Structure 1
Amino acid sequence: MKKLLPSIVAVSLLALTACNSNKDPEVVSSVSEDPQAAEIANRAPVELPPSIKAEKSMRCQPGNALFFVTFFNGDKQALVRTEKTGPATKLTAVTAGDPLTGEGWTLTGTPTSAKITQPGKGEFTCKG
């Protein structure tokens, strides 16, 4: 009996190893494939909204006017307010370096020095 038991174990292990001739492990998952995976992979890349570059209160001439301007990274977007907590006007440009425009407004320049054209009021030269 003592000699028979090890030989039975050896034979049964040999039989079990012969059952699976595939050397790759079997992967079991409860997650099915995403039906939109191909569509998502072919989408255009998403451009994130720009982060704030600078928020400036700008003193402008003529008339010692005051504008509150938020400049965004990428130089394609800015927000302009005539009051600190007032409504903002979004100004955009297609490419960096072009004048930012929107709703009759125009802005050119940087956070330290800019020219702002306000609808109905004319052009202002501003320092930040």
Structure 2
Amino acid sequence: MKYYLPLTAVAALTLLSACNKNDEPEVVGGPADPMASQLANAAPVELPPSVKNSFQYRCKDNSLVFVDFLSDDKTANLRTEKTGSPTKLVAAEAGQPFEATDGYKIEGNGKQVTITLPGKSALGCKA
């Protein structure tokens, strides 16, 4: 009984040593990729920014505003309801106010911000 275990291990190692160690994938048959040259020359893909900070602000008029600041430091998503659809605001450069064409504006990106909503004046808001 004692000799079977080492013999089994030697047999398994012998079989595994016969495996192909080539790092290149083998393509066996099949059609050539018609987009191979286009994919090889394509520009690198840039992933969208992730959420860097997410704040719930209480403004001076006692309203709540929900803001997600993204990792590119130039984009923020603003929601006036917790489960509402976000409005995308963009800054010209990092550190500049975030704005949308329809009257939304956020100045700042920390615990205290000034938020302007369409048809309303600017409000000071705290997280």
Give TM class, smaller chain: 0.5 to 0.7
> In structure 2, what is the equivalent of residue 70 of structure 1?
68
What CA distance in whole angstroms lies between the structure 2 residues aligned with 1:52 and 1:65?
23
How far has the Cα of 1:70 moved from its partner? 1.4
Deviations 1:46-75 (A, max 9, x none): 2211111122111223x2332111111111
How far has the Cα of 1:41 moved from its partner? 2.2
> In structure 2, what is the equivalent of residue 83 of structure 1?
81
Is residue 115 of structure 1 aligned with residue 100 of structure 2?
no
The structure richer in strand per residue is 1
The runs of 5 or more residues in structure 2 that have no matched partner are: 1-25
Deviations 1:86-108 (A, max 9, x none): 23211123432232222210112
TM-score if structure 2 supplies the norm length? 0.66
Residues 32 and 64 (structure 1), Cα distance of their counterparts in 2 relative to 1, 3 Å cut: same
> In structure 2, what is the equivalent of residue 57 of structure 1?
56
> In structure 1, what is the equivalent of residue 4 of structure 2?
none
Where 1:111 maps in the other structure, the secondary structure is coil
Residues 28 and 64 (structure 1), Cα distance of their counterparts in 2 relative to 1, 3 Å cut: closer
The answer on whether the counterparts of 1:59 and 1:66 sit within 8 Å (CA) in structure 2 is yes
> In structure 2, what is the equivalent of residue 96 of structure 1?
94
Aligned residue pairs: how many?
A: 101
What CA distance in whole angstroms lies between the structure 2 residues aligned with 1:87 and 1:32?
45
Identity fraction in percent: 47
Deviations 1:5-60 (A, max 9, x none): xxxxxxxxxxxxxxxxxxxxxx7732444222221222222221111112211122
Where 2:122 maps in the other structure, the secondary structure is strand
What is the aligned-residue RMSD (CA, Å)?
2.1
The runs of 5 or more residues in structure 1 that have no matched partner are: 1-26
Larger radius of gyration: 1
After TM superposition, which residue ranges in structure 1, 4 or more long, deviate above 3 angstroms? none
